[in-house]
């Protein structure tokens, strides 16, 4: 029997990104459903606990425990403070403003990385990176349309979430130089379960889930891990110049979800601003990939 050839890398990456888009959208819908009963700290506590159970089970089944070390406790803690803060702001934002607006502002995280990397990672801010960031921030102004009427706490929360995610990305990059993915995920879910429990319990009142709400807790926990796993898998197959445009499919998908489930209007300003944010992200990745290939050819020559 003739062997069936494997699908091309771009198609496999597209399939993984389809999973990521579905997972991110599911997490947003589940987060809104949970917000009727829980505050954002409680949502994060239950989300992280479900993720922790999944990571522990998978690590035990695959022997991943060997990759969990205690080398960088301080860096793990700092990374998760930023991620925990960003994720709480994200869950708050999805209850305050249209989902498409939240996702558009979230896409600015890579541009915040460009701006903050010189201070955090010691990387150089090149003219092309500066142009990419400028395009993205013009996009932010179009999406947010800051004015006394349009600038809301939800918009500020979504923008703050993007900054928190950017700091998380940079510290994750530092961690992955020495730590395995299983190690990073284990400390992420463990520390954020404890942070969620601490913050949710400050007022002495932690809401317990009802039977009806348990499926949504399962969705928000599983979808969070699945989204990042699918995104990482896509990046391992295809270049970022392929994956990033596919990731932006989240915006029209979540806009349709918001319109269908919550009667949210399709805002052309959000799409126009998101197009500039996408242009800034793509320009930066294209230029960096081009420079990397040029350096390889120079070494080979």
The predicted-structure confidence for 172-200, as pLDDT tens digits, reads as follows 878 878 888 888 889 999 999 999 999 99
Alpha-carbon separation of residue 63 from 25, 56, 127, 128 (angstroms): 31, 10, 45, 43
0.75 exceeded by the pTM?
A: yes
Looking up tokens 């126009």 gives 272
Q: Is the Cβ–Cβ distance between 93 and 154 less than 8 Å?
A: yes
Residue 291 has pLDDT above 80, yes or no: no
Give pLDDT tens digits for 209-265. Answer: 999 999 999 999 999 888 878 887 887 777 666 677 778 888 888 889 999 999 998
Residue 2 has pLDDT above 60, yes or no: no
CA angle 246, 88, 163 (to 5 degrees): 60
Residue 99 has pLDDT above 70, yes or no: yes
- Mean pLDDT is lowest, of 4-8, 119-123, 279-283, for 4-8
Q: How far apart are CA 65 and CA 114, in angstroms?
A: 34
Give pLDDT tens digits for 135-162. Answer: 888 888 888 776 666 678 999 999 999 9
CB burial of residue 270 (10 Å; 0-12, 13-18, 19+): buried
Q: How far apart are CA 46 and CA 31, in angstroms?
A: 11
Instruction: Say what percent of the chain tops pLDDT 70.
Output: 93
117 by DSSP, 3-state: which?
helix
Residue 5 has pLDDT above 70, yes or no: no
């Amino acid at each position: 029997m003739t062997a069936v050839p494997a699908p091309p890398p771009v198609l496999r990456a597209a399939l993984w990104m389809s999973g990521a888009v579905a997972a991110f959208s599911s997490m947003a819908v589940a987060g809104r459903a949970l917000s009727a009963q829980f505050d954002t700290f409680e949502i994060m506590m239950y989300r992280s606990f479900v993720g922790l159970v999944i990571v522990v089970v998978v690590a035990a089944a695959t022997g991943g425990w060997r990759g969990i070390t205690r080398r960088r406790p301080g860096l793990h803690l700092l990374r998760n403070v930023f991620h925990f803060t960003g994720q709480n702001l994200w869950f708050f934002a999805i209850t305050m403003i249209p989902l498409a607006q939240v996702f558009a502002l979230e896409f600015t995280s890579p541009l915040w990385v460009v701006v903050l990397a010189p201070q955090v990672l010691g990387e150089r801010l090149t003219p092309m990176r500066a142009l990419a960031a400028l395009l993205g921030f013009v996009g932010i102004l179009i999406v947010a349309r800051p004015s006394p009427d349009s600038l809301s706490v939800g918009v500020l929360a979504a923008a703050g979430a993007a900054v928190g995610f950017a700091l998380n990305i940079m510290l994750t990059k530092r961690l992955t130089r020495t730590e395995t993915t299983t190690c990073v995920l284990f400390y992420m879910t463990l520390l954020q379960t404890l942070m969620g429990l601490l913050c949710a319990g400050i007022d002495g009142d932690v809401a317990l889930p009802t039977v009806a709400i348990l499926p949504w807790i399962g969705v928000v926990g599983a979808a969070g891990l699945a989204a990042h796993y699918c995104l990482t898998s896509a990046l391992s197959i295809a270049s970022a110049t392929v994956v990033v445009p596919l990731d932006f499919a989240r915006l029209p998908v979540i806009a349709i979800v918001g319109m269908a489930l919550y009667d949210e209007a399709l805002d052309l300003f959000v799409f126009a601003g998101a197009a500039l944010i996408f242009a800034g992200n793509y320009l930066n990745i294209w230029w960096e990939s081009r420079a990397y290939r040029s350096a390889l050819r120079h070494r080979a020559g």
